[in-house]
């Protein structure tokens, strides 16, 4: 799970280094404060969703809009929803930086707590991988570009350092990563150069250390490995008039990939969602906003306000060019049986509300 506003700083500098045209911008919410940079949403059956953002995990009831914070005195490092039966697994930072696992049922009742003999590195991150087949649960920590894999008992079994992609960058860091489908590690690396940042996504096989680099536009993206072990990569983007001459940018005249589903083992694209997102008009910014919940992809055209839903593994839309969702709403779920789309509306300290849209057959 990851770290869906870009960490890139926006700088305006006078001189010949600036040109006119669309520019790289926010890879989370490009038009409002509807959700934060590290937000992720997971479905819990057909009636609830799990929201992970700002180091917190909240469960939202899709019928009432009720939000329940699952743990208040711990920083949430990772969150997973398991099925059969439905359970929620939270990885947190506990006392003395020890990594803890908290397991909840689908109603938010805590079932268990495990304290691992693994400490979170200073300014580090941690992720959890569920047991699969003969492989037991695993924990991975990250400090800078170094990843360390641990058994549940606390024994470090391997480590991997992501090499710098190029010496052209002034600084290279890790912006997002996921290792839910062990032995594969998906990493988004960001390289900073003068007035520009480049993002690239790699899949690393931790068994043989082979690396597959995905060919994508080098703008900021989000990563998430789904329950089938496929890698979702998606982006949100807005066009700006001023751009550094050397910065990557999307062309509003061409189709842009807003979501791609990859095979985690081969790195091949299984499905690629593309649309043309025109430049904005007076008073309205052009670009797109993407959100992924479970197997459903939501995309909104910023220039028109129209939104569409797609299955993550198919190119035919569930619905397209709708205008009936509130602009700042957060997509939190789609139930195919009832053809109902759910959006969360939350403004300031006001109580959250759910907007339901039932699609006609």
Q: How far apart are CA 309 and CA 316, in angstroms?
A: 9
Picking from 33, 31, 24, 40, the residue whose alpha carbon sits closest to that of residue 305 is 31
Q: How many CA atoms lie within 13 A of 65 on its CB side?
A: 14
Q: How far apart are CA 237 and CA 99, in angstroms?
A: 34
Query: If you ran DSSP here, which 8-state letter would residue 12 be given?
Result: -
pTM of the model: 0.88
Q: How far apart are CA 20 and CA 17, in angstroms?
A: 10
pLDDT at 38: 54
pLDDT at 168: 83
Q: Return the SS3 of 237.
A: strand
Domains of the chain: 18-358 (2.120.10)
| Start-to-end Cα distance in the chain | 34
Q: How many CA atoms lie within 13 A of 237 on its CB side?
A: 27
pLDDT at 122: 95
Question: pLDDT tens string for the chain (361 positions)?
Answer: 443 333 333 332 323 333 333 322 333 334 443 444 457 999 999 999 999 988 999 999 999 999 999 999 999 999 999 998 899 999 999 999 999 999 999 999 999 999 999 999 999 999 999 998 888 999 999 999 999 999 999 999 999 999 987 778 899 999 999 999 999 999 999 999 988 899 999 999 999 999 999 999 999 999 999 989 999 999 999 998 777 878 888 999 999 999 999 999 999 999 999 999 999 877 788 999 999 999 999 999 999 999 999 999 999 999 999 999 998 899 999 999 999 999 999 877 778 899 999 998 6
Per-residue H/E/C for 97-146: HEEEEEEEECCCCEEEEEEEEEECCCCCEEEEECCECCECCEEEEEECCE
| CA distances in angstroms from 28 to 37, 92, 159, 164, 280, listed in the order given | 5, 23, 30, 25, 18
What is the torsion angle, in degrees rounded to the nearest 10, for the CA atoms of residue 108, residue 229, residue 340 and residue 352?
40
Peptide bond before residue 350 is cis, with ω within 30 degrees of 0: no
C-alpha 66 chain-centroid distance: 23
């Amino acid at each position: 799970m990851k770290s869906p506003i870009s960490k890139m700083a926006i700088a305006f500098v006078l001189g010949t280094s600036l040109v006119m045209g669309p520019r790289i911008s926010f890879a989370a919410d490009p038009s409002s404060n509807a959700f934060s940079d590290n937000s992720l949403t997971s479905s819990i059956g057909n009636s609830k969703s799990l929201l992970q953002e700002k180091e917190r995990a909240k469960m939202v009831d899709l019928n009432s809009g009720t939000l329940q914070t699952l743990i208040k005195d711990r920083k949430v490092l990772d969150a997973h929803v398991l099925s059969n039966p439905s359970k929620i697994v939270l990885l947190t930072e506990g006392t003395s930086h020890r990594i803890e696992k908290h397991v909840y049922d689908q109603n938010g009742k805590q079932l268990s707590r495990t304290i691992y003999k693994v400490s979170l590195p200073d300014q580090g991150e941690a992720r959890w991988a569920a047991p699969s087949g003969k492989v037991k649960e695993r924990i991975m920590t990250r400090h800078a570009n170094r990843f360390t894999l641990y058994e549940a008992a606390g024994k470090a079994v391997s480590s991997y350092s992501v090499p710098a992609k190029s010496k052209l960058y002034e600084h290279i860091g890790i912006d997002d990563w996921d290792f839910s489908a062990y032995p594969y590690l998906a990493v988004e690396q960001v390289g900073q150069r003068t007035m520009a940042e480049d993002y690239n996504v790699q899949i690393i096989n931790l068994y043989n250390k082979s690396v597959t680099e995905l060919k994508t536009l080098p703008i900021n993206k989000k990563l998430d490995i789904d329950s089938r072990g496929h890698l979702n990569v998606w982006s949100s983007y807005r066009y700006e008039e001023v751009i550094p001459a050397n910065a990557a940018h999307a062309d509003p005249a061409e189709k842009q990939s807003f979501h791609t589903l990859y095979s985690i083992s081969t790195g091949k694209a299984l499905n690629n969602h593309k649309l043309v997102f025109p430049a904005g008009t007076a008073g309205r910014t052009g670009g797109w906003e993407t959100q992924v919940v479970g197997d459903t992809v939501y995309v909104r055209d910023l220039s028109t306000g129209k939104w569409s839903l797609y299955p993550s593994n198919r190119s035919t839309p569930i619905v397209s060019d709708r205008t009936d969702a509130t602009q700042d709403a957060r997509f939190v779920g789609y139930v195919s049986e009832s053809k109902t789309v759910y959006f969360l509306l939350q403004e300031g300290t006001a109580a959250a509300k759910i907007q339901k849209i039932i699609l006609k057959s």
